[in-house]
Amino acid sequence: MNQLKNGAKAEESTLSKETSSFRVPRSGWRLGRHLWSSRSSKFYYGCSNASESFENVAADRRKNSDRYLLIATSGGLNQQRTGITDGVVAAYILNATLVVPKLDQKSFWNDSSDFAQIFDVDWFISFLSKDVTIIKQLHGKGGKALNPYRMRVPRKCTPTCYLTKVLPVLNKKHGKTWDEEEKLWDDLTCLHPEVVAELNQEAVSEERAVVTATPEEMAVIEAEDLAEREQEFPEVAVQTEGEQGVASHIPNKQTPLFDVPDNDSPSSEDILEVTSLTLSSSNILDTPVSYHLPFRHNRGKPPARYSPDEEGKRAKYPISNHVTTQRLSDPLKAFAHRLSSYKAVQLGKFDYRLSNRLDPDLQKLRCRVNYHALKFTDSILEMGKKLVQRMRMKSEHFIALHLRFEPDMLAFSGCYFGGGEKERMELGKIRRRWKSLHTSNPDKERRQGRCPLTPEDVGLMLRALGFGSDVHLYVASGEVYGGEETLAPLKALFPNFHSKETLASMRELAPFSSFSSRMAALDFIVCDESDVFSTNNNGNMAKILAGRRRYFGHKPTIRPNAKKLYKLFMSRHNKTWEEFASRVRTHQIGFMGEPNEVKPGRGEFHENPSSCICEDSAAKARAGLTLTPQNLLDESHKNGKENFNKNETSDVTDEHSIEDDQDLTDMDYMDRETAIKGKGLPGEMLLEEFFSD
């Protein structure tokens, strides 16, 4: 052990034995009370109440909503949380009734839980009742299930995008008029020509039929039909010319069907004469045969419900009554059902499908959903609170670390973590599962800050920021690549190492352990309630918790400045601990969860909900403070606790925040279309998708 300049005792890092100058202290730096809280947090508070004008408009819109929006979320718990939040706003934009969102049960996370098993669904519906009408299930008339039209919207879709791409589909009615059904049928047969062939035997109706048969087959069909009509209507006089004849049951589309007299009594003018098709075949007589259809008082005369003035009424004869899909193949049957039920729309893979740039009222609606309406079920909340209480019993303060270091995630990132040829082979094999991924370039990914920190790197960062070995650490993680060997350096730095598995018994966790989303919810609660939250990645849970902790008091939230830190970690053995720690603190200014450290509009709104953060100007003025991240740095200079040189300080101005380097994924839909001219990544595969915790 060596004595450092600040009086802290030091020990040699298990992976830093190459140099005697780099010795990690056991104790943290004495930064005082600011270690566990933000000085300026008391001057800011979350504010998401709707304005009076927004409430009035919302009330009027709910009365007139006759459209239904369904949302199918994607990814893990927190990625789905963003989809649910944005889905409520999308329903408001479209003036649609929202059906309780459907959770992703088939992705990598393989969790069969539905919405009501994760969130309090009654609270969700009740809390948002003044903003959007929400129902639990969608049923048609008579309790029959409706088949919504399924579609996707682009990423970062703006309100205008929703109004132009989704609203026209929602405005189409379930019950079609005859003309609408005619066009709908034409669309179906044009888009899928094979439908016609499959419908030859099934699509026969009283009013119309779709037949594409050879002349010989047509003659047989018409002869059979004529025989049936003769048995049913013996009084009908059939006029024949020649030895045989066939009759068509297909109305002539050029005959005006609606030009009929108003009287209900039969007359000679009311009797329509139908002439058979002339078939050129040597085996069938060419002479046409005609017969009179029996009288029907409303033949060809539509009822009043078909009037344009009655468009709100349902048609008496929907297309499903005219065409049977009983013997269609499953894909074509699903397609036909979609075309006949457009009033309800389901938006699939709904994650990050709403723009960051919305007006303040819509942004506040986002906050009401995310921070108030989405409440976990009582069973999850109760278990989560038990875990927090048990951490508090061990220590007054604790850090929660969200550690993403699973093999799949590392392989997807394309980064290299120093494991030699074994690592390259193992992660390379996993990476080949995604055929659309580009060839990995570890150096480039690391330079761009896209590589997660290793467990040892996170431990060194926390120690450099002032947290000693006596600090209790709660770790929320999945399977760690390399297992205990990878975790050993972190546990050496922070021996008070805890997880939900160490804090609770197997019996207590049994109701949750088979469901990844429920286990993630427990971690979410502990991380949210921690005094300090840190992460080794910039995934969905990190973003959601960063925004939530800003909204509820700016509790310290440490996000690694990976672009800067990677160089420092690579060269740390050439520096003293004091120099290393000083640079870590410099690079982390603007990444500690302080107010105003991220410019409004930068990054994901879920990470930086600036429209929902209000400032208590009076309290701030009374305190005589104007605090910014740079002010905090200057204050540390005055106290003599840091020794930054001029060049190091300038780094803060040059690269204040990761969000300053806007990439393609930060752009809204309209901006991105201009940037890439309509060309997207294969399968919409973006890096943050795999960070879908």
Mean pLDDT in order along the chain per 10 residues (693 residues): 43 46 79 72 92 88 81 93 97 95 81 95 97 88 73 93 92 50 47 46 40 58 63 47 42 42 47 46 50 65 53 44 63 61 82 92 97 98 98 96 94 90 92 80 88 96 95 96 96 97 97 94 98 94 95 94 92 92 94 85 86 88 62 44 40 39 42 41 43 59
Q: What is the pTM of this model?
A: 0.70
* Furthest CA-CA distance within the chain: 120
Closest CA to 59 of 105, 16, 92, 101: 92
Amino acid at 495: P
Residue whose structure tokens are 């039209």:
149
For 553, the 3-state DSSP assignment is coil
pLDDT at 61: 80
Residue whose structure tokens are 């039929």:
209
What are the extents of the domains in the chain?
65-177+338-362, 376-405+452-623
Amino acid at 310: E
pLDDT at 231: 58
3-state helix, strand, coil in the chain (%, to 5): 45, 10, 45
pLDDT at 270: 46
Just give the CATH number of 376-405+452-623. 3.40.50
Closest CA to 109 of 70, 79, 71: 79
Please tell me what DSSP assigns to residue 369. Answer: I
For 90, the 3-state DSSP assignment is helix
* Four-CA torsion 406, 412, 416, 420, nearest 10 degrees: 70
Closest CA to 418 of 383, 363, 455: 455
pLDDT at 362: 97
- Token pair belonging to 407: 């093999």
Q: What kind and span of H or E run contains 524?
A: helix 516-529
Residue 197's Cβ-side half-sphere holds a number of Cα atoms within 13 Å equal to 4
